[in-house]
Amino acid sequence: MKAAVLEKPNYIQVQNLEKPVPKANEILIRLKSTGICGSDVHLFLGDRLLPVPTVLGHEGLGIIEAIGSQVRGFQIGQRVVIEPNIPCGSCRFCQQGRGNICPNKQVIGVNSPGCFAEYICLDADFCWKLPDSISDEDAVCIEPLAVAVHALKVSSVSSKGPIAIVGLGAIGLLLCQLALTKGYEVWVKDLNDDKQSLAVDMGAGVLPTEGLESFLYDQEVAAIFDCVGVAKATNLILETAPRGSEIILVGLANESAQFVPLKIAREGISILPSIIYDHPFDFAETIDLIAKDKIHPGQIISARFPLDRIEEAMALAVSGKATKVVVDME
């Protein structure tokens, strides 16, 4: 089978690998499409070094081609989307219902072969059947939308409350669309005017560059979602967050950020982490929202490339100019 292997930072190559065979509890999926995630970009650039050459990609959509002997409830030919973070189920965090921070989890495209390939085998519990009402365009964006669904749940702000989203990559835009769908008042900010305009077209307002702290306070913004993944932006949010607000960390900056403990404590500001999603609840909710025609995440797709042009696709994703780049295997 064809698969795109990250050999070293900034060098990804399509190779012929052995087609996988499903274990008793697994499903063999013939992949149709896979979205490029911000974490794929960080791995490609070498911001996080992988110990061995790896097939990247985790936002996979495909068709069931073979089923393991112990798997029930699936049929060959069914369309499925992949939930790529698989907790161990036995550590103390999994036992507490916090599998999203499981230290032993299998992560497709990181410590397990990924979805920039023609085929993948996956534990059946992490394959989600899709109703016909969900288009392929929406389906390939289910995984990042699940990240946004989880992030919104982390906040205690009730629907119709004002929130701010800083950073309009795929997660930020999906979070914007989701929050607007649920009735929140949404304010956004991004350095890319096109992405900002897309959020405005959805119904969001734009945060000012000057006087941000007083603006957030006057608008009674109760939660700020940091979707940038750069410490400089996090520092700005920490400096300007209004009294009594929440800061939800969604972006994955790996640099040190700074804050003044006195300000955070005296003004009652909460800093809350949001990482991936809770299995199985967030994926189930995400699929239900799309199936009920309440949200269409595929609207953020801005470019598509065949697998043989993965280097071009990754270069566009690295540039930051695209909202969502998708790689098609067929």
Looking at residue 162, its pLDDT comes to 97
Three-state secondary-structure class, residue 233: helix
Looking at residue 159, its pLDDT comes to 82
Residue 21 near residue 27 (C-beta atoms within 8 A): no
Looking at residue 103, its pLDDT comes to 97
Domains along the sequence of the chain with CATH: 2-140+301-328 (3.90.180.10), 145-273 (3.40.50.720)
Q: Output the 3-class SS for 235-280.
A: HHHHHHCCCCCEEEECCCCCCCCCCCHHHHHHCCCEEEECCCCCCC
Looking at residue 169, its pLDDT comes to 96
Phi, psi dihedrals of residue 228, rounded to the nearest 5°: -85, -50
Each residue's pLDDT expressed in tens, for the chain with a length of 330 residues: 999 999 999 999 999 999 999 999 999 999 999 999 999 999 999 988 899 999 999 999 999 999 999 999 999 999 999 999 999 999 999 999 999 999 999 999 999 999 999 999 999 999 999 999 999 999 999 999 999 999 999 999 988 889 999 999 999 999 999 999 999 999 999 999 999 999 999 999 999 999 999 999 999 999 999 999 899 999 999 999 999 999 999 998 888 999 999 999 999 999 999 999 999 999 999 999 999 999 999 999 999 999 999 999 999 999 999 999 999 998
pTM above 0.95, yes or no: yes
